[in-house]
């Protein structure tokens, strides 16, 4: 049996994109005005419990869960807008998509983004946070 280079590359890509309970076709993090948009799409989903979006800064040691998204089923597109990112003074974020199965196994996808916002908006966000 002869394996071509294209076949080998395809097998490696498929092996990398199969995560706990889901085949993830794409995962991206992008600036959306003052917010950050996290998007991903899946192929086959099986035994999938949740997608958990996590965020941290370079300075913070641990990720924080910011949203839990319920799976929709095979071949779905997902989107989440992080409206709270501007409330800190850090401008470099790491986002992670945690994929949880019903059997407890997990997988992760990670993206980083540089996010800047005006000092006025950052100050206003800090003032609003003081009165919550």
Q: What is the pLDDT of residue 9?
A: 46
Which domain CATH number covers 31?
2.60.40.10
Distance CA 114, CA 29 (A): 10
For residue 11, give both structure tokens.
């097998």
CA distances (Å), 51 to each of 68, 88, 90, 116, in order?
6, 24, 25, 26
Neighbours of 132 (CB within 10 A): 4
SS3 state at 6: helix
How many domains are contained in the chain? 1
Residue reference for tokens 């199965």? 101
Q: What does 68-108 look like in DSSP terms, one character per residue?
A: EE----SS-EEEEEE-SGGGSS--EEEEEEEEEETTS-EEE
pLDDT per residue rounded down to tens, the chain (132 residues): 455 555 444 444 444 445 567 888 899 999 887 789 999 999 889 889 999 999 998 888 899 999 999 999 999 999 999 988 765 555 688 999 999 999 888 888 888 887 765 554 555 555 656 666
pTM of the predicted structure, to 2 decimals: 0.71
List the domain range (segments joined by +) for residue 17: 5-130
């Amino acid at each position: 049996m002869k394996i071509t280079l294209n076949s080998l590359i395809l097998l490696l890509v498929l092996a990398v994109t199969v995560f706990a309970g889901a085949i993830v076709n794409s995962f991206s993090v992008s600036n959306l005005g003052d917010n950050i948009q996290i998007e991903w799409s899946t192929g086959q989903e099986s035994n999938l419990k949740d997608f958990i979006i996590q965020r941290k800064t370079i300075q913070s040691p641990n990720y924080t869960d910011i949203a839990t998204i319920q799976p929709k089923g095979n071949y779905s597109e997902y989107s989440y807008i992080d409206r709270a990112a501007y409330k800190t003074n850090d401008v470099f974020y790491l986002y992670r998509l945690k994929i949880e199965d019903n059997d407890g196994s997990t997988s992760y996808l990670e993206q980083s983004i540089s996010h800047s916002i005006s000092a006025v908006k950052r100050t206003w966000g800090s003032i609003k946070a003081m009165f919550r």
